[in-house]
Structure 1
Amino acid sequence: MTTMTLLILLLAGHILADFYLQPSHWITQRTQRHFSAPCLYWHGAVHGVIAALVLLLVTDIPVIKAVAYALLLAGSHIVIDGVKSYARPTMFCFVLDQLAHLLVIGFIVLLVANPEPAFAIYWIKQEVSYKTLAIITGYLMVLRPVSIIIKQLLAPWSSAIEADKTDANSETSLQAAGKSIGYLERMLILTFILLNQFSAIGFLLAAKSVFRFGDLRLSEDKKLTEYVMLGTLTSFALTIAIGLLVSSVATQLPMGK
């Protein structure tokens, strides 16, 4: 019980700290100053605090062990991100970085080795199962993390689109609107998968194609049209993959039956 709960909570904590609680200027500073950037250590501290809270709330391991494991996670994060700051911001480096962090999380879960649950876990058992936690983590994944992955994947094409910009203010507004649309569509896709309504995903894709690609076709901007299509299909593919993974864990939902 606690192993799965602990793993999902640590993963959720990683997602929160890495993608939601890390301001963009921290990333910029780390890229420029590497290990001398104070924000690198603040970022590691955020991960450590979240990990310590999770370990103390859902396990009965001694406080000293919980702190030690949290320090291990925080220290490894500082080292991994510091090394990554010397590399180019490519998709390959991003994947290696995330895999390294996940390996550390997995190692810590193995170190804890099926402890007896702490007092707080009884509340989690009664009110929030690990399956519910998996669903919440899935929604966290399809928002900012997937947006960053899509941005990394489309970087070669986005540079070409950037070169063709003529109105910076207009483009900034369109980007913000596009990000919000992406968030909403991925939340809808994940919800449809969890409810076993795959036909609704097709309807959503068709509706977006009618409203979005029609205007792009009329603009006769083939490059932009292909870029938007690629981004949409990538967004759908990643969200469907995450949805299938989440639904395989949350077997109490229609998809798992």
Structure 2
Amino acid sequence: MVDFFHLLLLFLLMHIICDFYLQPKRWVDAKKAKTYRAKELYFHSLLHGISLLIPAMVFGVDGRAAACWVVIVAVSHFMIDLWKVTSPNGEKLSCFVLDQALHITVLAAIALYMTDGVSIAEVLQHQQFSDALLVVLGYLLILKPTSIVIGSILKKYPISGTGEAKKAQVSGIVAGGELIGYLERLLILTFTLVGSYEAVGFVLAAKSIFRFGELNKNADRSMTEYVLIGSLVSVVITTLVGTLLSLELKIK
């Protein structure tokens, strides 16, 4: 019996190798310039289809089923990539995420169909699925919702100053600080989940060193307090989420 998660994992491995490592930049540029007339688009799509012969051999899938995999993945990849290169928003992150989500959905559907006697309900009830869903929930919580919480707290401690100087300070913190906070929380949660607390300390120390030079030049004490409050709230929330997730996963 073919396990759904093992088959999907191998599918995803082939997808990542073909999409990001075996696709030269000139292929990407050619697809954008010539769209459906680019031979590179056909080569790339066919490569994705043929790559699934490896999982087929690993799991002992018969030739007819393997041929269906090749055709379905090659055609669907062609259509999805063609949509992406012809879309006016094709360069945006949201378009990239949607593009990858569609590819993965096709692979997941094939894996689900090929898994003997497994229904969607059984997949949803699988221990690995519930664990993965819990981890995804944790990552979602530490991103936008946590930013909103931090922003609400910081509103109670406004930066002193007036005029353009204050606007410049706030603009700098909001524009770069939010992205830095996202990356910091992603690293802290990841290291917490794998039990690498030393790495968490390294992330905090590295950020403190860079921030120290910036804040040391700033004569405004309120700016220093503003940044410290935001950083500490960010670390506390992420650490709590990571600890609770770790405890829940161990209990399961």
1:206 to 201, 204, 207: 204
> What TM-score does the superposition give when structure 1 sets the normalisation length?
0.52
The aligned residue for residue 41 of structure 1 is: 42
1:113 to 107, 112, 115: 115
CA distance in 2, matches of 1:75, 1:255: 39
CA distance in 1, matches of 2:216, 2:46: 51
The one-letter code matched in structure 2 to 1:93 is: C
Measured after TM superposition, the shift of residue 113 of structure 1 is: 2.9
The aligned residue for residue 69 of structure 2 is: 69
Measured after TM superposition, the shift of residue 9 of structure 1 is: 0.8
The aligned residue for residue 177 of structure 2 is: none
SS of the residue corresponding to residue 85 of structure 1 reads helix
Contact 2:53/2:70 (8 A) holds in 1: yes
Q: When the two structures are aligned, how many residues end up with a matched partner? A: 166
CA distance in 1, matches of 2:8, 2:37: 31
The RMSD of aligned alpha carbons is 4.0
Query: Please, which runs of 5 or more residues in structure 1 have no aligned partner?
Result: 116-130, 132-181, 221-228
1:204-227 Cα shifts (integer Å, max 9, x gaps): 22122134344556798xxxxxxx
The aligned residue for residue 14 of structure 1 is: 15
The one-letter code matched in structure 1 to 2:45 is: G
Bigger Cα Rg? 2
The one-letter code matched in structure 1 to 2:116 is: N
Contact 1:194/1:255 (8 A) holds in 2: no
Contact 1:14/1:47 (8 A) holds in 2: yes
CA distance in 2, matches of 1:50, 1:6: 13
Map 1:1-257; keep pairs closer than 5 Å: 2-58=3-59, 60-87=60-87, 88=89, 89-114=91-116, 190=190, 193-195=193-195, 197=196, 199-215=197-213, 256=250
The aligned residue for residue 159 of structure 1 is: none
> What TM-score does the superposition give when structure 2 sets the normalisation length?
0.53
Query: Please, which runs of 5 or more residues in structure 2 have no aligned partner?
Result: 118-127, 129-182, 219-226
CA distance in 2, matches of 1:74, 1:256: 40
CA distance in 1, matches of 2:81, 2:40: 11
User: Relative to 1, partners in 2 of residues 1:217 and 1:33: Cα closer, same or farther, differing over 3 Å?
Assistant: farther
Relative contact order higher in (CA < 8 Å, ≥ 6 apart): 1
The aligned residue for residue 171 of structure 2 is: none
Measured after TM superposition, the shift of residue 256 of structure 1 is: 4.2
Moved over 6 A (4+): none
1:2-33 Cα shifts (integer Å, max 9, x gaps): 22210111112112222222222221221111
CA distance in 1, matches of 2:249, 2:68: 39
1:86-107 Cα shifts (integer Å, max 9, x gaps): 1121122112211111111112
